[in-house]
Every structure is written in C-alpha cells, then in structure tokens.
Structure 1
Amino acid sequence: MTGLVSDSDERRLLRESVGKIAAKYGPGYYTERSRGGEHIGELWADLGQAGLLGVHLPEEHGGGGAGLAELNIVIEELAANGIPLLITVISPAICGSILAAHGSDELKRDWLPGIADGTRKMAFALTEPDAGSNSHNVSTHARRDGDGWTISGSKYYISAADECEAMLVVARDGEPAADGRNRLSLFVVPTDSPGVTLQPLETALVSPDKQFTVFFDDVHVGEDALIGEAGKGLRQVFAGLNPERIMAAAICNGVGRYAVDKARTYATERQVWSTPIGAHQGIAHPLAEAHIAVELARLATARAAELFDGGGAAAEAANVAKFAAADAALQALDQAIQTHGGNGLSREYGLADLWFVTRMLRTAPVSREMVLNFVAHTSLGLPQSY
C-alpha cells in the first residue's frame, strides 16, 4: 500500500530494518506480553543492538547521529507492525533528548550510550494529579541539602517506572519567580533510591508498559543529579516535550497504518454473496477516508520532526501533528473494527487490544483541548483564557 510520505534510500532501509525486527516478534508477542504483565526485553535488546533506539542521539555518546525524523520512522514502523511501544517515546525520545541537550558531560557519558543500545532505560516523571496540564503548578519540590538535593512529593501516571533504572524528575525549586510561577529543576533519580515508592495503577491499557504513582519521601540525590541549571527546568524540559508530542504522533500513525492495512486485507478477502465486501462503497469509502487522514497526519509528523531537527520553532507543528495523528488513528481503528464486524472484537484479529492505548494518546501527552488552546493563542493570536 503506497502512501504520501516518501523516504530517501537511507530512510527506506531504516524502515525495512525496523520492519524485519518487528516481524520477528509480531503483534501476538506484544499482546501476549501485555496481557501477561510481562516486558518485551528480547525485542528491546534487538532494537538496541541494531542501533535503532538511539538513532537520534549524538554519535559521540553511542547514538546514530541522525534526528527525530529517523526516530519517527523507528517508532511508527513498530506500531505499523502492531507493536506500539510507549517506552520508545519515554526513554530515548524524551529523556534521551533532554540529556543530550542539557545534561552535564558526566550525565551524557553515563546515560546516553545505555539508552542508545537499550541496556538502560529512564522514565519521565512530570505529571501530578493536582497539576493537570499546568506544569508550573507541580507540587513535588526539591531543596538544597548539604552536598545535593532532597526531593519530596509524588507523581502520577508514570509509564514504565518498574522497567527503568532511574527517572527524570521535574520538581519546583525554591521560591516562585517574579511572575508568580514556580521555578522548575530537573533531576535524575535512581528508582531504587531510599524513599522512592512505586505504586501500580490499574488501567484498561493493554500494554507491556505499566503505569505508576511514584512517591518521593525525602529522597536525597547528589549535586551531579541536577540537569542543567537549577530553576531553568521549564526551558530544559521542552527539549523533551516537543519530541514527546512528535513521537506520540508516530505511534498513532503506525497504529493507523496497521488498522487500515488489516481492514483492507479483510475487505478484500471476506466475501458475502460471492462479492468481496470491499467492493461496497459503504466499506470502501470510510476506509479511504481513514487512509487519507492517516497519510495527512504522517505528513504533519514528518514536517514537525524536520523542523525540530533543523533547530526551528517546532512547538506548533508538534502539537498539530499529535492532534491530527491521534484523531486519525482512532478513526482508522474504529473503521477497521467496523469492517471486521464481530471479528473486530476478537483477539485473533489484533484490533480491539489497541483501542485503549490509542485512545489514551488522544489525551496524553497533551490533551486535544490544550492543543486547541495552544493553536488558538499562539497561531491565531486569540486572547488567552488562562
């Protein structure tokens, strides 16, 4: 099935490499591990050894020296093979990008090679139950304490914390700035630190990447745990938030491709009264619309990655891509399920299990309402509502 996104020869080979590894495992592996509460260690190791997890990270720290455009291909192609991995967004895209942009030389040397080759993972701890989308309002706080910092508070919906050696924690630091907003600082906190507690969250997600509430009870870290400059964390965290939005879009685009392809195959092979059901416009036209929406979202995502890699202003493009991709993926998945009839809800056909993780990406990492707020305020220049 052709699409609107065209790859260079090098990127086409990258896409093929990811596809070969993904095909070795397949959506059945992903679903079985997810439902069994198990991780996908073998797949992760293969991706790391092939240099695919750190394709965007600096070569001097074990990465591929490419950019988000290449990581977009890796993450999308995994999802297009029925393997939408949240941890690919969290550890390499968010944490890897922030460390590469703002980490000390010591933190880069310590963490980036392991993130790139898959031998180490890092979770991202920003979300709190009472802060919502207002990152300025986080209550987890860090205070200077002798030779380092002491961190107290809690984080909510932290993905894959049980798989990771450390978390990149966003905390407020000291007194608010002159505008009343809290100053933020970023820290690398080992998950086995005294005072760190992981509490599993029960969700409807079918995913090997589980969700947690994380408690920090006077957790002490050294001065070397600080990323960049104290109090400048909001600027630093955006080195990870725009990649997070773009790579969330990549997952959605892959799911959309997977859903449309499954529906196309079924509609071609399934016959009623000796006629393939795909010959009927009631089936064909909605699938064509779903394909169009997915391809447009892929173009928006590729453009956002291009802007980010070029050092341009990528915030608008990243938000637009995430918005478009999440809606397109849900449209494609819903229509694929409808095309399959009752079989769409059968585990055998591998569609229904993707619903909740795809639906989550319409809300996270940024809700569609906050994207609309951003576009209204920033792109259209309308008055702010908050």
Structure 2
Amino acid sequence: MRPSAVHRTRRGDTVSAPSGPAQPAGSAGPSSSGYQFLPPPEHAEIRAAVRQISAGHGITEYAARGRKSAPQTQLWAELADAGFLGVNVPEQFGGGGMGMSELAVVAEGAASVGCPLLLTLVSCAINVEILARHGSAEQQQEWLPKLAAGRKLAFAITEPDAGSNSHQIATTAKPVDPGDPAGDWLISGQKYYISGVDESDAILTVTRTGTDERGRAEMTLFLVPVDADQLTAHRIDVAAQIPDRQFTLFYDDVRVPASAAVGGIGTGFRPLFDGLNPERIASAALCVGIGRYALDAAADYARNRQVWGTPIGAHQGVSHPLAQAKINVELAALALSRAAWLHDNKLDAAEACNMAKAAAADAAVAAVDAAIQAHGGNGLAQEYGLMQLYGMARLLRIAPVSKEMVLNYVAQHTLKLPRSY
C-alpha cells in the first residue's frame, strides 16, 4: 500500500473514538478538539505495510550487514519504491504529502522488526524538512522528487573541534569575488562523523560565512555534490557494528554557486533549527522501534527457554526487567507521538522533541540490554543480532544530540535555570 493511497487526516483534525455506549450526562467523553491518543487509521496501515516489507530482511540481515558495514540498500529501495521514504515530501514533488508523524511510523515500523535505518533521520527527516521549508523553487524541484524516490542526501555539521557547539564551526565559505556574493563560493574546512556519504548524491553542509553584530557566527547551508572537486572523504572505522558508514570530510576550497545556498547566505541558523526537531523525532522513532523489537524477541525467548522444567520468563528476575523496559519504551512512544503532532501542527515542539529523543534513546539502550541479559550467553551469539542492535541504540544515545545537551536544554529553557555552558 502506497502512502498516497492512504486516507489523510488534515492537520489539526481529530480522530473520533470508536462508537460505544452513550456517555452519561456530565461525564467526560472524547475531546472534540486537540491532541488525541488514538492514532489516525492510516498510521496502522502504514506501519503494517512497512513491517511486512522490512520483515523480509529482518535482524539476521541487519546483523550481517552491520558486521560488514554494508548499507541496507535493498530494504531502502523497496521502502522507497512503495512510497514510504517520501511520505513527508509534499505531493507536488512526488511525495506522500504527510508529515513527521507518518515518517516516524515508517522509521519505527522498520526498526520494530530489527531493521533500523539510520539515514531516515538524515535524508528523510532533516534534509526533506529543511528543503521543503527553505529551499528555493529550483532546489525543491531538483531535490525533493529525488528524495521522494529514495535518493539520499547526507548532512554535515559536526567537526572535530565543534561537536554540539555550532557557534564554533570552523568550516568557512567565502565568495570567490568579495564584491559579488551572488557568484561562486569556496568552502574550506573539515566535517567529522558524517553518515552515509557513500550512499548520497550530495551533502547539505553547514558553513560559517560571517559574523553578526554580536560577534556570533553567521551560518549558511550549501548543497555540495559528493563528487565535487577538492572534496575528499575518509572513512572512520567504528567499533559499533552498524550498516551505515561514517566519514571525515575535507573541503579544500570546494567551489559551489551561490544558488547552492539553502535559505540564502547568512540565514543558516533558521533552516538548521527547522531541521533539528525532525531529526530528534526520527531518532526517537528508531529508538522506539529498536526497543520494541528487542523486547518482543526477549519475551519470545523467555516464554520458550526452559531451565529446570520452567520457562525462564516465569521468574521475576527475568520478567521484571523486561516489563520495566516495556513501560519505558511505551512512555517514550507517547512522547514521540506528541512531539511529532506538535511539529506537524506548526506548534512549539522543541521541548517535546528533545524530551522524546532522550527518553527513547535511554529506553532503547535499556531494552536491548535487558533483552541480552534475558538471553544469557545467547545474547552475545551472532544469530540473535542483539549486539549489532545494541550498537545502533548506543549510537543514538550519543547522536544526533547527546543526552547531556538535552538535559542542558531542559534545565535552561524549561526549568529556567542559569545556563551552564
């Protein structure tokens, strides 16, 4: 089932509760407006279809590709052909015309059968949302149909000396002719831990193009082709056994036209921040899916594995950690749904997105750890794939934003505490 064939609920509409006995006078029935806890029917349909496609690949393939650092190209292609990876691309560009709520369902659905796709948070979330909101007509016409069809864009912001501190970015872009900012620009610098460069057509690169009146960096986002002259990529050998490869990028006066700037010269923080909430939503969705897969696998193992004639799941030492992990994963899923709903309804979603990402990452790591423990020695066996899944979960606790930076955000913006950094 393609997303374009699914009935769409307009943003702001509510989903009616199932029919049932009339509520007594004065009782609290379903709300007629605002956020609803019942997801739209199309979400269940999308999730079922994504799970069916992804289950044909499953944890065995994911783990094998993780050991070889081989991207999940076939699964990505199948989901793209079915229309799911372009679900949040506007319809006029060949996408599903939906939002981050639906992309979160896609990301979670694939992960929930053991196939988390890291680039959904990069190519489908960050880059689609930035281009749809800030891309020029020409950029949108060139890139959004490609992204809807499953082509990929990498995203480059982090640097060796500027991880979470975007104001310290040292990669610069300077006009070839300072008197003609509408001409070509030269990008110089280094980017670090950039995912999927080898799978992408271009890299949305965050650069410093000036300094504002308060002495802070002015940022510009440029679309840089992966085969651009003077751009080189060196693969980083990471211990986490995940399919997607990581790279260090070197820009040595890479020449791009001014038309490659997304949102205009010097406006980079606005489009950048419009990509951060979708990034957090998609990463939370991957984590929820990872947690659900791990707990389903552990529960199945604990129901069938017997020691001294009793299934190990009958023992609270096994069942309670799994039950607690399940509670935490489902709480994270609620936070994820709320964050995506706020974003899609163009409400302030920053706090909700940060909280959902942190909660989901913690829940995923704890869920996989509990699953490994429930499997005993088999938790380390290659055939179960849990160690490769742990690598992805642990990565998502660090990136794309660390737990510590989320706590800083909540302390400063929610609790109004003094800034600590």
Aligned to 1:322: 357
Residue from 193, 203, 212 that aligns with 1:157: 193
TM-score (norm 2): 0.89
Structure 1 residue 298 corresponds to structure 2 residue 333: yes
1:95 aligned onto 2:137: no
**Post-superposition CA distance 1:261-284 (Å, at most 9, x none):** 011001100111111111111111
Task: Tell me whether 1:181 sits opposite 2:203 in the alignment.
Answer: no
Letter in 2 for 1:15: R
Change (3 A) 1:5 1:290: farther
**Separation in structure 1 between the aligned mates of residue 409 and residue 296 of structure 2, nearest angstrom:** 33
Task: Name the structure 1 match of 2:323.
Answer: 288
Letter in 2 for 1:150: L
1:60 alignment counterpart? 92
Please say if residues 283 and 396 of structure 2, whose CA atoms lie closer than 8 Å, have aligned partners that are also in contact: yes
Say whether the 8 Å CA contact 1:99–1:112 is kept in structure 2. yes
How far, CA to CA, are the matches of 1:32 and 1:356 in structure 2?
13
Give the superposed CA RMSD: 1.2
Please, which of 101, 106, 115 is the counterpart of residue 69 of structure 1?
Answer: 101
1:186 and 1:349 mapped to 2: Cα distance? 41
* 1:5 Cα deviation from its structure 2 partner: 7.0
More helix by share: 1
Pair 1:381-2:413 in alignment:
no
Q: Does 1:311 align with 2:346?
A: yes
Query: Which residue of 369, 372, 381 maps to 1:346?
Result: 381
Output one character per residue of 1:214-252: Cα deviation in whole Å (capped at 9) or x when no partner.
000000011210101211101111111111111111111
Task: Give the Cα separation in 2 of the matches to 1:171 and 1:326.
Answer: 29
Q: Between Structure 1 and Structure 2, how many residues are aligned?
A: 381
Match of 1:334 in 2: 369
Identity %: 54
Cα separation, 1, equivalents of 2:106 and 2:56: 15
Question: Once structures 1 and 2 are overlaid, which stretch shifts more, 75-84 or 34-43?
Answer: 34-43
What is the identity, as a one-letter code, of the residue corresponding to 1:244?
A: E
Residue of structure 2 in register with 1:206 after alignment: 241
Q: Is the 8 A contact 1:5 1:295 kept in 2?
A: no
TM-superposed deviation, 1:357 = 1.6
Q: Distance in 2 between matches of 1:182 and 1:7?
A: 41
Write the distance in 2 (CA, Å) between the matches of 1:339 and 1:28.
19
Q: Which amino acid is 2:189 matched to? A: G
Q: CA deviation at 1:33?
A: 2.3
| Rg larger in structure | 2
Q: What residue in structure 1 maps to residue 202 of structure 2? A: 166
In structure 1, list runs of 5 or more residues that go unmatched.
Answer: none
Matches within 5 A, 1:230-269: 230-269=265-304
Matched, 1:104 2:136: yes
Give the aligned residue type for 1:232.
Answer: T
Q: Amino acid of the residue matched to residue 159 of structure 2?
A: E
- Could you tell me which runs of 5 or more consecutive residues in structure 2 were left unpaired when the two chains were aligned: 1-35, 178-182
Give me the whole-angstrom Cα distance separating, in 1, the residues matched to 2:264 and 2:152.
23
Match of 2:50 in 1: 18
User: What is the match of residue 253 of structure 2?
Assistant: 218
Q: Which amino acid aligns with 1:125?
A: A
Query: Measured at CA, do residues 49 and 289 of structure 1 come closer, stay the same or move farther in structure 2, by a change above 3 Å?
Result: same
Q: How far, CA to CA, are the matches of 1:39 and 1:385 in structure 2? A: 39
